[in-house]
Chain A
Amino acid sequence: MAARRALKAVLVDLSGTLHVEDTAVPGAQEALQRQGATSVMVRFVTNTTKESKKDLLERLKKLEFDISEDEIFTSLTAARNLVEQKQVRPMLLVDDRALPDFKGIQTSDPNAVVIGLAPDHFHYQILNQAFRLLLDGAPLIAVHKARYYKRQDGLALGPGPFVTALEHAADTKATVVGKPEKTFFLEALRSTGCEPEEAIMIGDDCRDDVGGAQNVGMLGILVKTGKYRAADEEKINPAPYLTCDSFPHAVDHILQHLL
Protein backbone atom coordinates (compact mmCIF):
# COMPACT_ATOMS: atom_id res chain seq x y z
CA MET A 1 0.00 0.00 0.00
CA ALA A 2 1.35 3.46 -0.93
CA ALA A 3 2.55 5.56 1.98
CA ARG A 4 -0.07 8.03 3.05
CA ARG A 5 0.51 11.42 4.48
CA ALA A 6 -0.29 12.00 8.13
CA LEU A 7 -3.95 12.27 8.98
CA LYS A 8 -4.98 15.87 9.54
CA ALA A 9 -8.74 15.99 9.04
CA VAL A 10 -11.77 13.81 9.74
CA LEU A 11 -15.12 14.24 8.04
CA VAL A 12 -18.02 12.81 9.99
CA ASP A 13 -21.48 12.15 8.60
CA LEU A 14 -24.32 13.17 10.89
CA SER A 15 -27.60 11.29 10.48
CA GLY A 16 -26.98 7.57 10.90
CA THR A 17 -23.42 8.02 12.12
CA LEU A 18 -23.41 10.36 15.11
CA HIS A 19 -27.11 10.01 15.80
CA VAL A 20 -30.18 8.23 14.51
CA GLU A 21 -33.17 10.58 14.54
CA ASP A 22 -33.22 12.05 18.05
CA THR A 23 -30.99 9.47 19.73
CA ALA A 24 -27.22 9.67 19.84
CA VAL A 25 -25.23 6.60 18.81
CA PRO A 26 -24.07 5.12 22.15
CA GLY A 27 -20.64 6.39 23.14
CA ALA A 28 -20.51 8.89 20.28
CA GLN A 29 -20.29 12.04 22.40
CA GLU A 30 -17.37 10.70 24.37
CA ALA A 31 -15.63 9.43 21.24
CA LEU A 32 -15.95 12.88 19.73
CA GLN A 33 -14.32 14.38 22.77
CA ARG A 34 -11.40 11.94 22.54
CA GLN A 35 -10.93 12.90 18.91
CA GLY A 36 -11.19 16.55 19.82
CA ALA A 37 -8.25 16.16 22.17
CA THR A 38 -5.99 15.48 19.19
CA SER A 39 -4.74 17.99 16.63
CA VAL A 40 -6.94 16.51 13.93
CA MET A 41 -9.51 18.90 12.45
CA VAL A 42 -13.14 17.80 12.25
CA ARG A 43 -15.95 18.67 9.88
CA PHE A 44 -19.50 17.41 10.18
CA VAL A 45 -20.94 16.81 6.74
CA THR A 46 -24.47 16.11 5.60
CA ASN A 47 -26.70 16.12 2.52
CA THR A 48 -29.55 17.83 4.27
CA THR A 49 -31.62 20.14 2.13
CA LYS A 50 -34.06 21.36 4.68
CA GLU A 51 -32.18 22.08 7.82
CA SER A 52 -30.05 25.15 8.20
CA LYS A 53 -26.77 24.89 10.07
CA LYS A 54 -28.42 26.49 13.09
CA ASP A 55 -31.10 23.79 13.16
CA LEU A 56 -28.51 21.04 12.95
CA LEU A 57 -26.41 22.62 15.64
CA GLU A 58 -29.41 22.89 17.94
CA ARG A 59 -30.26 19.23 17.53
CA LEU A 60 -26.68 18.12 18.09
CA LYS A 61 -26.27 20.28 21.17
CA LYS A 62 -29.44 18.77 22.61
CA LEU A 63 -27.81 15.38 22.16
CA GLU A 64 -24.82 16.72 24.06
CA PHE A 65 -22.38 16.85 21.18
CA ASP A 66 -19.76 19.54 21.57
CA ILE A 67 -19.76 21.11 18.10
CA SER A 68 -19.45 24.62 16.68
CA GLU A 69 -21.36 26.00 13.71
CA ASP A 70 -18.32 26.53 11.54
CA GLU A 71 -17.44 22.85 11.81
CA ILE A 72 -20.65 21.97 9.97
CA PHE A 73 -20.65 21.66 6.19
CA THR A 74 -23.85 20.78 4.38
CA SER A 75 -24.91 20.36 0.78
CA LEU A 76 -26.68 23.69 1.23
CA THR A 77 -23.31 25.25 2.08
CA ALA A 78 -21.88 23.66 -1.04
CA ALA A 79 -24.73 25.12 -3.11
CA ARG A 80 -24.19 28.55 -1.62
CA ASN A 81 -20.46 28.40 -2.35
CA LEU A 82 -21.15 27.55 -5.96
CA VAL A 83 -23.67 30.37 -6.31
CA GLU A 84 -21.09 32.82 -4.97
CA GLN A 85 -18.39 31.43 -7.23
CA LYS A 86 -20.59 31.77 -10.30
CA GLN A 87 -21.85 35.17 -9.14
CA VAL A 88 -25.44 34.35 -9.99
CA ARG A 89 -28.79 35.35 -8.51
CA PRO A 90 -30.63 32.11 -7.75
CA MET A 91 -34.30 31.23 -7.77
CA LEU A 92 -34.26 29.15 -4.57
CA LEU A 93 -36.39 26.01 -4.70
CA VAL A 94 -35.45 25.01 -1.19
CA ASP A 95 -37.34 24.42 2.02
CA ASP A 96 -38.04 27.62 3.96
CA ARG A 97 -36.00 26.23 6.81
CA ALA A 98 -32.95 26.18 4.55
CA LEU A 99 -33.19 29.86 3.66
CA PRO A 100 -30.99 31.13 6.52
CA ASP A 101 -28.04 29.39 4.83
CA PHE A 102 -28.54 31.65 1.81
CA LYS A 103 -28.69 34.86 3.77
CA GLY A 104 -27.03 37.70 1.91
CA ILE A 105 -27.44 36.11 -1.51
CA GLN A 106 -29.28 38.22 -4.09
CA THR A 107 -32.41 36.46 -5.29
CA SER A 108 -34.35 39.12 -7.15
CA ASP A 109 -34.34 38.97 -10.96
CA PRO A 110 -32.93 35.41 -10.83
CA ASN A 111 -30.56 34.03 -13.44
CA ALA A 112 -29.93 30.61 -11.87
CA VAL A 113 -31.96 27.87 -10.21
CA VAL A 114 -30.99 26.11 -6.97
CA ILE A 115 -33.10 23.07 -6.19
CA GLY A 116 -33.25 20.98 -3.03
CA LEU A 117 -35.96 18.90 -1.39
CA ALA A 118 -38.82 21.36 -1.31
CA PRO A 119 -42.23 19.69 -1.69
CA ASP A 120 -43.97 23.00 -1.07
CA HIS A 121 -42.23 24.49 -4.09
CA PHE A 122 -42.60 21.58 -6.46
CA HIS A 123 -45.97 22.53 -7.80
CA TYR A 124 -46.55 23.27 -11.45
CA GLN A 125 -46.40 27.08 -11.51
CA ILE A 126 -43.07 27.30 -9.73
CA LEU A 127 -41.40 24.50 -11.68
CA ASN A 128 -42.63 26.15 -14.87
CA GLN A 129 -40.98 29.41 -13.83
CA ALA A 130 -37.74 27.56 -13.14
CA PHE A 131 -38.01 25.79 -16.47
CA ARG A 132 -38.33 29.08 -18.36
CA LEU A 133 -35.22 30.45 -16.64
CA LEU A 134 -33.27 27.31 -17.55
CA LEU A 135 -34.43 27.46 -21.15
CA ASP A 136 -32.98 30.97 -21.28
CA GLY A 137 -29.60 29.59 -20.23
CA ALA A 138 -29.69 29.86 -16.44
CA PRO A 139 -27.50 27.23 -14.68
CA LEU A 140 -29.20 24.53 -12.62
CA ILE A 141 -27.63 23.70 -9.26
CA ALA A 142 -28.98 20.63 -7.48
CA VAL A 143 -28.33 20.13 -3.82
CA HIS A 144 -28.49 16.40 -4.46
CA LYS A 145 -30.39 13.92 -6.62
CA ALA A 146 -31.84 11.45 -4.16
CA ARG A 147 -34.71 9.51 -5.73
CA TYR A 148 -36.77 9.20 -2.60
CA TYR A 149 -36.61 9.13 1.16
CA LYS A 150 -38.45 7.43 3.96
CA ARG A 151 -41.30 9.25 5.66
CA GLN A 152 -43.75 8.08 8.29
CA ASP A 153 -46.41 7.44 5.64
CA GLY A 154 -44.05 5.50 3.37
CA LEU A 155 -41.67 6.53 0.59
CA ALA A 156 -41.70 10.08 -0.74
CA LEU A 157 -40.15 11.65 -3.84
CA GLY A 158 -36.78 13.30 -3.26
CA PRO A 159 -35.43 16.20 -5.28
CA GLY A 160 -33.81 13.88 -7.85
CA PRO A 161 -36.93 13.25 -9.95
CA PHE A 162 -37.69 16.99 -10.16
CA VAL A 163 -34.10 17.78 -11.09
CA THR A 164 -34.40 15.15 -13.81
CA ALA A 165 -37.67 16.71 -15.00
CA LEU A 166 -36.08 20.14 -15.36
CA GLU A 167 -32.93 18.73 -17.00
CA HIS A 168 -35.09 16.98 -19.56
CA ALA A 169 -37.42 19.91 -20.15
CA ALA A 170 -34.65 22.45 -20.72
CA ASP A 171 -32.17 20.00 -22.26
CA THR A 172 -29.54 20.89 -19.70
CA LYS A 173 -27.50 19.19 -16.97
CA ALA A 174 -27.58 20.08 -13.32
CA THR A 175 -24.42 20.63 -11.31
CA VAL A 176 -24.98 18.40 -8.31
CA VAL A 177 -23.19 19.60 -5.19
CA GLY A 178 -24.09 17.05 -2.50
CA LYS A 179 -22.53 13.67 -1.63
CA PRO A 180 -21.23 11.65 -3.40
CA GLU A 181 -20.01 14.38 -5.76
CA LYS A 182 -16.27 15.10 -5.60
CA THR A 183 -16.84 18.83 -5.20
CA PHE A 184 -18.75 18.22 -1.99
CA PHE A 185 -15.78 16.60 -0.28
CA LEU A 186 -13.27 19.05 -1.71
CA GLU A 187 -15.37 21.99 -0.57
CA ALA A 188 -15.82 20.45 2.88
CA LEU A 189 -12.05 20.13 3.20
CA ARG A 190 -11.30 23.60 1.85
CA SER A 191 -11.63 25.34 5.21
CA THR A 192 -9.29 22.78 6.83
CA GLY A 193 -6.52 23.48 4.35
CA CYS A 194 -6.01 19.73 4.03
CA GLU A 195 -5.61 17.59 0.95
CA PRO A 196 -7.89 14.57 0.48
CA GLU A 197 -4.89 12.29 1.06
CA GLU A 198 -4.64 13.77 4.55
CA ALA A 199 -8.27 13.12 5.39
CA ILE A 200 -10.67 10.36 6.31
CA MET A 201 -14.49 10.11 6.08
CA ILE A 202 -16.69 8.24 8.56
CA GLY A 203 -20.26 7.44 7.45
CA ASP A 204 -23.11 4.91 7.27
CA ASP A 205 -23.88 5.23 3.56
CA CYS A 206 -21.45 3.04 1.68
CA ARG A 207 -21.90 4.67 -1.73
CA ASP A 208 -22.52 8.28 -0.85
CA ASP A 209 -20.22 8.65 2.19
CA VAL A 210 -17.42 6.11 1.81
CA GLY A 211 -17.45 5.61 -1.97
CA GLY A 212 -17.69 9.31 -2.62
CA ALA A 213 -14.84 10.14 -0.23
CA GLN A 214 -12.50 7.42 -1.49
CA ASN A 215 -13.22 8.56 -5.03
CA VAL A 216 -11.61 11.88 -4.23
CA GLY A 217 -8.54 10.36 -2.55
CA MET A 218 -9.65 10.15 1.07
CA LEU A 219 -9.84 7.02 3.23
CA GLY A 220 -13.33 5.86 4.13
CA ILE A 221 -14.65 4.13 7.26
CA LEU A 222 -18.07 2.51 6.97
CA VAL A 223 -20.02 2.26 10.22
CA LYS A 224 -22.74 -0.31 10.76
CA THR A 225 -25.32 2.08 12.16
CA GLY A 226 -28.09 4.13 10.55
CA LYS A 227 -28.94 2.96 7.03
CA TYR A 228 -26.19 0.33 6.89
CA ARG A 229 -27.38 -3.08 5.64
CA ALA A 230 -25.40 -6.34 5.78
CA ALA A 231 -22.80 -6.63 3.01
CA ASP A 232 -23.08 -2.95 2.00
CA GLU A 233 -19.27 -2.90 2.08
CA GLU A 234 -19.21 -5.24 -0.91
CA LYS A 235 -21.06 -2.74 -3.04
CA ILE A 236 -18.16 -0.42 -3.75
CA ASN A 237 -14.82 -0.91 -5.36
CA PRO A 238 -12.35 -0.34 -3.85
CA ALA A 239 -13.91 -1.58 -0.62
CA PRO A 240 -13.98 0.72 2.40
CA TYR A 241 -10.62 1.18 4.11
CA LEU A 242 -12.38 -0.11 7.22
CA THR A 243 -15.83 -1.36 8.17
CA CYS A 244 -16.59 -1.22 11.87
CA ASP A 245 -19.48 -1.27 14.31
CA SER A 246 -19.99 2.41 15.01
CA PHE A 247 -18.49 5.86 15.27
CA PRO A 248 -16.73 5.22 18.62
CA HIS A 249 -15.01 2.17 17.06
CA ALA A 250 -13.95 4.28 14.11
CA VAL A 251 -12.43 6.87 16.43
CA ASP A 252 -10.61 4.15 18.36
CA HIS A 253 -9.08 2.89 15.14
CA ILE A 254 -7.98 6.37 14.11
CA LEU A 255 -6.40 7.11 17.47
CA GLN A 256 -4.59 3.78 17.56
CA HIS A 257 -3.44 3.44 13.96
CA LEU A 258 -3.54 6.67 12.01
CA LEU A 259 -2.10 9.35 14.28
Chain B
Amino acid sequence: MAAWGERLAGVRGVLLDISGVLYDGGEGGGAPIAGSVEALARLKRSQLKVRFCTNESQKSRGDLVGMLRRLGFDISEGEVTAPAPATCLILKERGLRPHLLIHDGVRSEFDQIDTSNPNCVVIADAGEGFSYQNMNKAFQVLMELENPVLLSLGKGRYYKETSGLMLDVGPYMKALEYACGIEAEVVGKPSPEFFKSALREMGLEAHQAIMIGDDIMGDVSGAQRCGMRALQVRTGKFRSGDTSGQQGPGPGKDSRRPPGPRRGSQPSCVCCDVQPSAVR
Protein backbone atom coordinates (compact mmCIF):
# COMPACT_ATOMS: atom_id res chain seq x y z
CA MET B 1 0.00 0.00 0.00
CA ALA B 2 3.01 2.28 0.56
CA ALA B 3 3.73 2.21 -3.13
CA TRP B 4 0.21 3.40 -3.84
CA GLY B 5 0.51 6.17 -1.27
CA GLU B 6 3.52 7.47 -3.17
CA ARG B 7 1.92 7.17 -6.55
CA LEU B 8 -1.13 9.09 -5.41
CA ALA B 9 0.61 11.70 -3.27
CA GLY B 10 -0.78 15.20 -3.71
CA VAL B 11 -3.98 14.14 -5.42
CA ARG B 12 -6.72 16.52 -4.34
CA GLY B 13 -9.29 15.91 -7.05
CA VAL B 14 -10.70 13.21 -9.27
CA LEU B 15 -11.93 13.57 -12.83
CA LEU B 16 -14.37 10.84 -13.66
CA ASP B 17 -15.23 9.53 -17.08
CA ILE B 18 -18.88 8.51 -17.21
CA SER B 19 -19.62 5.89 -19.88
CA GLY B 20 -17.73 2.69 -19.11
CA VAL B 21 -16.74 3.86 -15.64
CA LEU B 22 -19.98 4.72 -13.88
CA TYR B 23 -22.43 2.98 -16.22
CA ASP B 24 -22.98 1.31 -19.59
CA GLY B 25 -25.61 3.00 -21.74
CA GLY B 26 -28.28 1.10 -23.58
CA GLU B 27 -31.95 0.18 -23.60
CA GLY B 28 -34.00 1.82 -20.86
CA GLY B 29 -31.15 4.11 -19.86
CA GLY B 30 -28.53 1.44 -19.44
CA ALA B 31 -27.14 -0.07 -16.26
CA PRO B 32 -24.74 1.10 -13.55
CA ILE B 33 -21.45 -0.73 -13.30
CA ALA B 34 -21.37 -2.87 -10.16
CA GLY B 35 -20.28 -0.89 -7.13
CA SER B 36 -20.02 2.42 -8.93
CA VAL B 37 -22.97 4.20 -7.28
CA GLU B 38 -21.58 3.48 -3.85
CA ALA B 39 -18.01 4.21 -4.92
CA LEU B 40 -19.04 7.65 -6.19
CA ALA B 41 -20.88 8.32 -2.92
CA ARG B 42 -17.71 7.45 -1.00
CA LEU B 43 -15.66 9.76 -3.23
CA LYS B 44 -18.04 12.60 -2.54
CA ARG B 45 -17.92 12.01 1.21
CA SER B 46 -14.13 12.23 1.07
CA GLN B 47 -12.20 15.49 0.94
CA LEU B 48 -11.45 15.11 -2.74
CA LYS B 49 -12.96 17.40 -5.34
CA VAL B 50 -14.98 15.48 -7.87
CA ARG B 51 -15.80 16.48 -11.44
CA PHE B 52 -17.11 14.52 -14.40
CA CYS B 53 -15.24 14.72 -17.68
CA THR B 54 -17.19 13.07 -20.45
CA ASN B 55 -17.23 12.93 -24.26
CA GLU B 56 -20.93 12.11 -24.21
CA SER B 57 -22.41 13.80 -27.26
CA GLN B 58 -25.61 11.86 -27.94
CA LYS B 59 -27.47 13.43 -25.01
CA SER B 60 -27.64 16.91 -23.56
CA ARG B 61 -26.05 17.38 -20.14
CA GLY B 62 -29.51 17.72 -18.63
CA ASP B 63 -30.69 14.40 -20.06
CA LEU B 64 -27.45 12.64 -19.15
CA VAL B 65 -27.50 13.85 -15.56
CA GLY B 66 -31.22 13.10 -15.22
CA MET B 67 -30.66 9.55 -16.38
CA LEU B 68 -27.67 8.99 -14.11
CA ARG B 69 -29.55 10.34 -11.10
CA ARG B 70 -32.36 7.89 -11.82
CA LEU B 71 -29.75 5.14 -11.64
CA GLY B 72 -28.78 6.42 -8.19
CA PHE B 73 -25.67 8.51 -8.96
CA ASP B 74 -24.99 11.70 -7.02
CA ILE B 75 -24.31 14.03 -9.95
CA SER B 76 -25.48 17.49 -11.07
CA GLU B 77 -25.16 19.44 -14.34
CA GLY B 78 -22.73 21.97 -12.96
CA GLU B 79 -20.25 19.18 -12.19
CA VAL B 80 -20.02 18.00 -15.77
CA THR B 81 -17.47 19.05 -18.42
CA ALA B 82 -18.92 17.96 -21.77
CA PRO B 83 -17.96 18.67 -25.39
CA ALA B 84 -21.15 20.29 -26.72
CA PRO B 85 -20.97 23.41 -24.53
CA ALA B 86 -17.23 23.64 -25.23
CA THR B 87 -17.98 23.48 -28.97
CA CYS B 88 -20.57 26.26 -28.71
CA LEU B 89 -17.97 28.54 -27.14
CA ILE B 90 -15.58 27.84 -29.99
CA LEU B 91 -18.27 28.39 -32.63
CA LYS B 92 -19.17 31.77 -31.13
CA GLU B 93 -15.53 32.81 -30.72
CA ARG B 94 -14.70 32.05 -34.34
CA GLY B 95 -17.93 33.18 -35.99
CA LEU B 96 -18.69 29.68 -37.21
CA ARG B 97 -22.16 28.60 -38.30
CA PRO B 98 -22.33 24.81 -38.26
CA HIS B 99 -24.02 22.16 -40.30
CA LEU B 100 -24.79 19.73 -37.47
CA LEU B 101 -24.24 16.00 -37.94
CA ILE B 102 -25.50 15.05 -34.50
CA HIS B 103 -28.04 12.97 -32.62
CA ASP B 104 -31.35 14.73 -31.93
CA GLY B 105 -30.79 14.10 -28.22
CA VAL B 106 -28.04 16.72 -28.04
CA ARG B 107 -29.59 19.31 -30.34
CA SER B 108 -30.84 21.43 -27.43
CA GLU B 109 -27.20 22.18 -26.50
CA PHE B 110 -26.95 24.09 -29.79
CA ASP B 111 -30.15 26.14 -29.41
CA GLN B 112 -28.24 29.43 -29.13
CA ILE B 113 -26.18 28.74 -32.25
CA ASP B 114 -26.85 30.23 -35.67
CA THR B 115 -27.02 27.33 -38.12
CA SER B 116 -28.05 29.26 -41.21
CA ASN B 117 -25.75 29.33 -44.23
CA PRO B 118 -23.24 26.94 -42.63
CA ASN B 119 -19.50 27.58 -42.94
CA CYS B 120 -18.37 24.50 -41.06
CA VAL B 121 -19.50 21.02 -40.03
CA VAL B 122 -19.86 19.82 -36.44
CA ILE B 123 -19.85 16.04 -36.02
CA ALA B 124 -20.76 14.28 -32.78
CA ASP B 125 -21.83 10.77 -31.78
CA ALA B 126 -24.90 10.71 -33.98
CA GLY B 127 -25.50 6.98 -33.56
CA GLU B 128 -28.41 6.02 -35.81
CA GLY B 129 -28.10 9.50 -37.27
CA PHE B 130 -25.02 8.32 -39.19
CA SER B 131 -26.99 7.33 -42.26
CA TYR B 132 -25.38 7.50 -45.71
CA GLN B 133 -27.67 10.43 -46.51
CA ASN B 134 -26.62 12.44 -43.47
CA MET B 135 -22.94 11.67 -43.97
CA ASN B 136 -23.24 12.68 -47.61
CA LYS B 137 -24.93 15.97 -46.76
CA ALA B 138 -22.11 16.86 -44.34
CA PHE B 139 -19.57 15.86 -47.00
CA GLN B 140 -21.23 18.04 -49.62
CA VAL B 141 -21.25 21.03 -47.25
CA LEU B 142 -17.52 20.62 -46.63
CA MET B 143 -16.68 20.25 -50.32
CA GLU B 144 -18.48 23.53 -51.10
CA LEU B 145 -16.43 25.50 -48.59
CA GLU B 146 -13.31 27.32 -49.64
CA ASN B 147 -11.97 26.78 -46.14
CA PRO B 148 -13.55 23.56 -44.85
CA VAL B 149 -13.65 23.30 -41.04
CA LEU B 150 -14.69 20.07 -39.35
CA LEU B 151 -15.17 20.13 -35.57
CA SER B 152 -15.47 16.71 -33.96
CA LEU B 153 -16.86 16.17 -30.48
CA GLY B 154 -14.31 13.60 -29.35
CA LYS B 155 -12.73 11.02 -31.63
CA GLY B 156 -13.35 7.77 -29.76
CA ARG B 157 -13.38 4.62 -31.86
CA TYR B 158 -16.16 2.85 -29.99
CA TYR B 159 -17.88 2.62 -26.61
CA LYS B 160 -19.72 -0.04 -24.70
CA GLU B 161 -23.44 -0.31 -24.37
CA THR B 162 -25.33 -3.09 -22.67
CA SER B 163 -25.89 -4.76 -26.06
CA GLY B 164 -22.21 -4.66 -27.01
CA LEU B 165 -19.63 -2.37 -28.60
CA MET B 166 -20.89 0.56 -30.67
CA LEU B 167 -19.13 2.71 -33.28
CA ASP B 168 -18.36 6.14 -31.85
CA VAL B 169 -17.76 9.44 -33.66
CA GLY B 170 -14.06 8.78 -34.43
CA PRO B 171 -14.51 6.44 -37.41
CA TYR B 172 -17.07 8.77 -38.99
CA MET B 173 -14.78 11.74 -38.42
CA LYS B 174 -12.02 9.79 -40.20
CA ALA B 175 -14.42 9.02 -43.04
CA LEU B 176 -15.07 12.73 -43.67
CA GLU B 177 -11.37 13.55 -43.27
CA TYR B 178 -10.52 10.96 -45.93
CA ALA B 179 -13.32 11.99 -48.28
CA CYS B 180 -12.41 15.68 -48.18
CA GLY B 181 -8.68 15.47 -47.63
CA ILE B 182 -8.87 17.56 -44.45
CA GLU B 183 -8.10 17.20 -40.75
CA ALA B 184 -10.75 17.62 -38.08
CA GLU B 185 -10.33 19.65 -34.91
CA VAL B 186 -11.25 17.60 -31.87
CA VAL B 187 -13.24 19.15 -29.01
CA GLY B 188 -13.32 16.88 -25.99
CA LYS B 189 -10.96 14.23 -24.65
CA PRO B 190 -8.09 13.81 -25.39
CA SER B 191 -7.67 17.47 -26.38
CA PRO B 192 -5.57 19.27 -23.72
CA GLU B 193 -7.88 22.33 -23.73
CA PHE B 194 -10.74 20.12 -22.62
CA PHE B 195 -8.86 18.64 -19.67
CA LYS B 196 -7.56 22.08 -18.73
CA SER B 197 -11.05 23.56 -18.66
CA ALA B 198 -12.16 20.75 -16.32
CA LEU B 199 -9.16 21.43 -14.07
CA ARG B 200 -10.00 25.14 -14.05
CA GLU B 201 -13.54 24.35 -12.95
CA MET B 202 -12.12 22.30 -10.08
CA GLY B 203 -9.57 24.98 -9.20
CA LEU B 204 -6.74 22.47 -9.35
CA GLU B 205 -3.39 22.10 -11.10
CA ALA B 206 -2.85 19.04 -13.29
CA HIS B 207 -0.48 17.39 -10.82
CA GLN B 208 -3.18 17.55 -8.18
CA ALA B 209 -5.71 15.58 -10.19
CA ILE B 210 -6.22 12.03 -11.33
CA MET B 211 -8.43 10.94 -14.25
CA ILE B 212 -10.32 7.67 -14.04
CA GLY B 213 -11.35 6.23 -17.42
CA ASP B 214 -11.97 3.14 -19.54
CA ASP B 215 -10.41 4.50 -22.74
CA ILE B 216 -6.64 3.99 -22.74
CA MET B 217 -6.10 6.64 -25.40
CA GLY B 218 -8.91 9.14 -24.87
CA ASP B 219 -8.96 9.14 -21.08
CA VAL B 220 -5.69 7.77 -19.74
CA SER B 221 -3.13 8.86 -22.31
CA GLY B 222 -4.89 12.18 -22.85
CA ALA B 223 -4.93 13.02 -19.14
CA GLN B 224 -1.33 11.98 -18.60
CA ARG B 225 -0.15 14.16 -21.48
CA CYS B 226 -1.58 17.10 -19.56
CA GLY B 227 0.39 16.27 -16.47
CA MET B 228 -2.37 14.47 -14.58
CA ARG B 229 -2.18 10.97 -13.26
CA ALA B 230 -4.62 8.43 -14.66
CA LEU B 231 -6.25 5.23 -13.61
CA GLN B 232 -7.40 2.66 -16.19
CA VAL B 233 -10.49 0.66 -15.29
CA ARG B 234 -11.16 -2.73 -16.85
CA THR B 235 -14.85 -2.04 -17.33
CA GLY B 236 -16.63 -0.42 -20.26
CA LYS B 237 -14.77 -0.56 -23.54
CA PHE B 238 -11.56 -1.87 -21.97
CA ARG B 239 -10.10 -4.88 -23.79
CA SER B 240 -7.22 -6.97 -22.54
CA GLY B 241 -4.99 -5.85 -25.42
CA ASP B 242 -5.22 -2.21 -24.31
CA THR B 243 -2.51 -2.48 -21.66
CA SER B 244 -0.49 -5.21 -23.25
CA GLY B 245 2.03 -7.49 -21.59
CA GLN B 246 -0.17 -8.12 -18.59
CA GLN B 247 -0.47 -11.32 -16.64
CA GLY B 248 -2.06 -11.28 -13.24
CA PRO B 249 -5.06 -11.91 -11.05
CA GLY B 250 -8.49 -12.03 -12.58
CA PRO B 251 -11.10 -9.34 -11.94
CA GLY B 252 -12.03 -8.79 -8.34
CA LYS B 253 -12.77 -5.64 -6.37
CA ASP B 254 -9.26 -5.44 -4.95
CA SER B 255 -7.09 -6.66 -7.78
CA ARG B 256 -4.81 -4.14 -9.36
CA ARG B 257 -2.00 -4.51 -11.83
CA PRO B 258 1.17 -2.59 -12.53
CA PRO B 259 0.96 -0.50 -15.66
CA GLY B 260 1.88 -1.91 -19.06
CA PRO B 261 2.65 0.00 -22.23
CA ARG B 262 0.49 0.29 -25.31
CA ARG B 263 1.51 2.73 -27.98
CA GLY B 264 3.25 4.83 -25.39
CA SER B 265 0.32 4.93 -22.96
CA GLN B 266 1.20 3.85 -19.50
CA PRO B 267 -1.54 4.30 -16.93
CA SER B 268 -0.51 5.31 -13.42
CA CYS B 269 -2.43 2.22 -12.39
CA VAL B 270 -4.88 -0.32 -13.71
CA CYS B 271 -7.72 -1.74 -11.73
CA CYS B 272 -11.06 -3.26 -12.29
CA ASP B 273 -13.52 -0.76 -11.00
CA VAL B 274 -13.76 2.59 -9.28
CA GLN B 275 -11.62 2.38 -6.18
CA PRO B 276 -12.01 5.54 -4.21
CA SER B 277 -10.39 3.96 -1.17
CA ALA B 278 -7.18 3.76 -3.21
CA VAL B 279 -7.35 7.46 -3.88
CA ARG B 280 -7.65 8.29 -0.18
Which residues of A are in contact with B by a Cβ distance under 8 Å?
119-120, 122-125, 127-128, 131-132, 135, 147-148, 154-158, 160-162, 164-166, 168-169, 171
Contacts and interface: CB of A to CB of B under 8 A. Distances in A.
B143 A155 contact: yes
Nearest to B241: A171
A154 B178 CA distance: 18
Given A157-B136, A157-B179, A161-B175, A169 B170 contact: yes
B157 A157 contact: no
Contacts of A157: 132, 135-136, 139, 175, 179
A25 B14 CA distance: 70
Contact of A132 (B143, B164, B174, B177): B164
B197 interface: no
A124 B130 CA distance: 6
A223 to B, nearest CB: 27
A123 B157 CA distance: 17
A30 B268 CA distance: 74
Interface in B160-174: 164-168, 170-172, 174
Interface of B: 127-132, 135-136, 139-140, 143, 157-158, 164-168, 170-172, 174-179, 181
A138 to B, nearest CB: 14
B179 A124 contact: no
A146 to B, nearest CB: 10
A66 to B, nearest CB: 38
A55 to B, nearest CB: 22
Given A123-B132, A124-B130, A161-B175, 19 more contacts: A122-B135, A123-B131, A124-B127, A124-B131, A125-B128, A131-B158, A132-B165, A135-B165, A147-B179, A157-B135, A157-B136, A160-B178, A164-B174, A165-B174, A165-B175, A168-B171, A168-B174, A169-B157, A169-B171
Contacts of A154: 140
A161 B179 contact: yes
A122 B135 CA distance: 10
Given A155-B140, A169-B158, A161 B178 contact: yes
Nearest to B143: A155
A128 B170 contact: no
A5 B176 CA distance: 45
B136 A165 contact: no
29 contacts: A119-B136, A123-B128, A123-B130, A124-B127, A127-B130, A131-B158, A132-B164, A147-B178, A148-B139, A154-B140, A155-B139, A155-B140, A155-B143, A157-B179, A158-B179, A161-B174, A161-B178, A161-B179, A164-B171, A164-B174, A164-B178, A165-B172, A165-B174, A165-B175, A166-B171, A168-B170, A169-B157, A169-B158, A169-B171
B167 A128 contact: yes
Contacts of B139: 148, 155-157, 161
B167 A124 contact: yes
B140 A127 contact: no
A154 B216 CA distance: 40
Contacts of B170: 168-169
A127 to B, nearest CB: 6
Contacts of A156: 136, 139
A48 B145 CA distance: 29
Contacts of A164: 171, 174-175, 177-178
Contacts of B164: 132
